[in-house]
Each structure stands twice: as structure tokens, then as C-alpha cells.
């Protein structure tokens, strides 16, 4: 499928993409480029990378595909640096958790390659990061959302879709605006809420006592508060308008819950909990195996 792919940002996401294509026998040479030499060397030791590049002109020479898998805050810098060396056959995709900002960066920097740039968002995370966490099966049965550009060559869309599908992913397609609203609701807001809860508790004088009695509910609710701070900074900043709209809707819900508590309105609380519980259990039935 590919002779040479280049991965910028060889952590969990980029590393797993490389391992999945390698284990499917669909790529000959995987080249890594990124900020930290140690990370690239670790990825090479782990068999994720065949080559490390320090220079975009070398990395992209003869490349079939470039995957941008750094935190989204670096999209601008990286696209500006890579743009001059993209060849006519080089496809570009990314793994950013936000898409409106990626579109903006694409139109700012990759104007000469719009036919070949097909943004994507793999819905696969883990609280662990780095190349050591990468695995060939990370994308197996996970969703990957493509947000193609109007300027895309249909063949480019097909080839990028096929690359992600070859990693085992279930593909779908959305506009970048829809994408960012949907993920603000079901991913970015829960992360913000979990970070906020743990931050608020750890700052207290009796944090030790509180953590000492936290059990499995707390464990699961706060798992995502262990996520990568820089990655989530970038997501929250990039998607802050959609995220604030979600936060405001949630604050309205909390104001309602607060009023029910104040009134001791058990009947209304129970009916709200029952609706939530039924919806959560129906979701789990449908989407969790």
C-alpha cells in the first residue's frame, strides 16, 4: 500500500498507526520526526520506526503519506515546516482531536496540497501516552472520523480511509464543525470536568483523607483526569467555543440539580436519575461489548 510513511509525533497515537500498518504488511519504511530525540529513539528501539529524520526535506523525500500525530497546538508550526517538501503524491492526514483548528492551519499552510490533505480523528485514547503505550491493535473496532476538505481528490479520501481502515478502524465522516460540537459534548467536557474535580480535591487541606476513602466510582469518574496535560490544553484551547457552549449547558443542568437538592425534592431527583440511568444503560447495551 505504501513504500514510505512519515509520522510526526511518535507517541501512543502515531506509534499505534505505524505498528498497525506494519503488522498488516502495508508499509515498507516508517520514518519518524518530532521534538524529542529520546522519544524517537525509543520508538526505533520498539520497532515502530525504521528511520529517524531531523529534517523535513529528508523525511518527506519520496513519502506516500504523512501522519501528523502531535498535540494539536503544534499543527501550525509543523505544517509550515513540512509544506515546502510535500510531493505531488504525498497524502497528509492527522490525528487531532479537534478539527476546525486543523482546517484553519491547513488553509494557512498547505494551500498547494489541498487535494491530498484529508484530516481525521481516531477515537482511541488511553490514559497512557508515549511510544511504549503504542500497540498494533489500538484502533481495532474503534471509530475514526474523516473530515475531508471540499478540495480533496476523491482518490486521496479513499486512500486515507483505506489506511485507517487497515488499522482496524470503523470509518465515518462529518464536517469539522459538527465534529467539534459532538466531541465537545462527549469527550472534551467530561475531560474538563474530571480534571476540575481532582484539581479541586487535591488542593484541600484534607486531600489525603478524601483520597483515602475514594473508591471505584471515583476511580472510573476520574480516570481521564490522568490524561496528558499538554494534549488537553491544546484541545481545550482549540475547541474552546464549542466547549464553553457545552459547559454552559452543563452548568444549567447543575443549577437545576442544586435547586432540587435545596428543596429536598426526592421525587424529581429520582426521576432525573432514572432517565440518566436508563439512557446510560441503553448506551452501554448498544455500544459496549
What are the cell numbers at 43?
520508538
CA distance 74 to 239: 14
Q: Which is nearer to a second copy, 38 or 208 (CB)?
A: 208
Cell, residue 37: 530525540
| Residue closer to a second copy, measured from CB, 118 or 236 | 236
Q: Which three cell numbers stand for residue 247?
A: 459547559
Contact 10, 129 (CB under 8 A): no
CB of 138 to a second copy, least distance (A): 11
Nearest partner of 12 among 52, 67, 90, judged by Cα: 67
Shortest Cβ 174–a second copy spacing (Å): 9
* Closer by beta carbon to a second copy, 60 or else 138: 138
- In the bound state with a second copy, the residue whose beta carbon lies nearer, of 107 and 211, is 211
Q: Cα 130 to the chain's mean position, in Å?
A: 14
**Shortest Cβ 184–a second copy spacing (Å):** 10
Residue 87 or 253: which CB sits closer to a second copy? 253
Residues 116, 149: Cα–Cα separation, whole Å: 9
Kind and range of the H or E element at 203? none
For a second copy, the closer of residues 2 and 250 by Cβ is 250
Q: Are 58 and 52 in contact (CB under 8 A)?
A: no
In the bound state with a second copy, the residue whose beta carbon lies nearer, of 154 and 287, is 287
CB of 71 to a second copy, least distance (A): 10
- Give the long-range contacts of residues 265-272, CB within 8 A, separation 24 or more: none
**Least CB distance to a second copy at residue 46 (A):** 22
Smallest separation (angstroms) from a second copy to the CB of 131: 19
Given a contact cutoff of 8 angstroms between Cβ atoms, the answer to whether 52 and 40 are in contact is yes
Reading the block at residue 2, the C-alpha cell is 505504501
Q: How far is the CB of 3 from a second copy (least distance, A)?
A: 32
Using the structure block, give the residue that is written with the C-alpha cell 459532538: 182
Could you give the 3-state DSSP secondary structure of residue 212? helix
- In our burial notation (b when 16+ CB lie closer than 10 A, e otherwise), range 265-284 reads eeeeeeeeeeeeeeeeeeee
Amino acid at each position: 500500500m505504501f513504500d514510505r510513511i512519515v509520522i510526526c509525533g511518535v507517541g501512543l497515537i502515531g506509534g499505534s498507526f505505524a505498528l498497525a500498518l506494519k503488522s498488516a504488511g502495508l508499509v515498507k519504511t516508517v520514518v519518524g520526526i518530532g521534538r524529542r530525540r529520546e522519544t524517537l529513539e525509543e520508538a526505533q528501539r520498539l520497532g515502530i520506526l525504521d528511520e529517524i529524520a531531523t529534517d523535513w526535506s529528508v523525511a518527506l523525500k519520496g513519502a506516500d503519506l504523512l501522519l501528523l500525530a502531535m498535540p494539536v497546538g503544534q499543527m501550525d508550526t509543523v505544517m509550515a515546516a513540512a509544506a515546502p517538501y510535500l510531493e505531488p503524491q504525498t497524502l497528509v492526514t492527522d490525528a487531532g482531536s479537534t478539527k476546525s483548528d486543523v482546517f484553519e492551519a491547513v488553509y494557512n499552510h498547505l494551500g498547494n496540497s489541498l487535494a491530498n490533505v484529508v484530516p481525521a480523528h481516531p477515537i482511541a485514547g488511553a490514559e497512557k501516552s508515549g511510544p511504549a503505550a503504542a500497540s498494533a491493535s489500538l484502533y481495532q473496532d474503534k471509530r475514526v472520523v474523516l473530515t475531508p476538505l471540499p478540495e480533496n481528490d476523491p482518490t486521496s479520501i479513499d486512500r486515507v480511509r483505506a489506511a485507517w481502515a487497515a488499522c482496524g478502524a470503523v470509518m465515518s465522516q462529518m464536517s469539522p464543525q459538527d465534529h467539534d460540537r459532538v466531541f465537545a459534548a462527549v469527550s472534551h467536557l467530561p475531560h474538563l470536568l474530571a480534571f476540575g474535580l481532582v484539581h479541586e480535591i487535591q488542593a484541600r487541606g484534607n486531600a489525603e483523607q478524601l483520597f483515602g476513602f475514594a473508591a471505584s466510582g471515583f476511580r472510573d469518574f476520574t480516570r481521564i483526569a490522568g490524561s496528558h496535560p499538554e494534549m488537553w490544553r491544546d484541545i481545550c484551547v482549540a475547541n474552546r467555543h464549542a466547549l464553553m457552549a457545552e459547559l454552559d449547558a452543563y452548568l444549567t443542568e447543575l443549577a437545576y440539580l442544586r435547586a432540587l437538592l435545596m428543596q429536598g425534592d426526592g421525587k424529581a431527583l429520582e426521576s432525573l436519575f432514572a432517565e440518566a440511568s436508563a439512557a446510560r444503560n441503553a448506551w452501554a447495551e448498544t455500544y459496549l461489548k
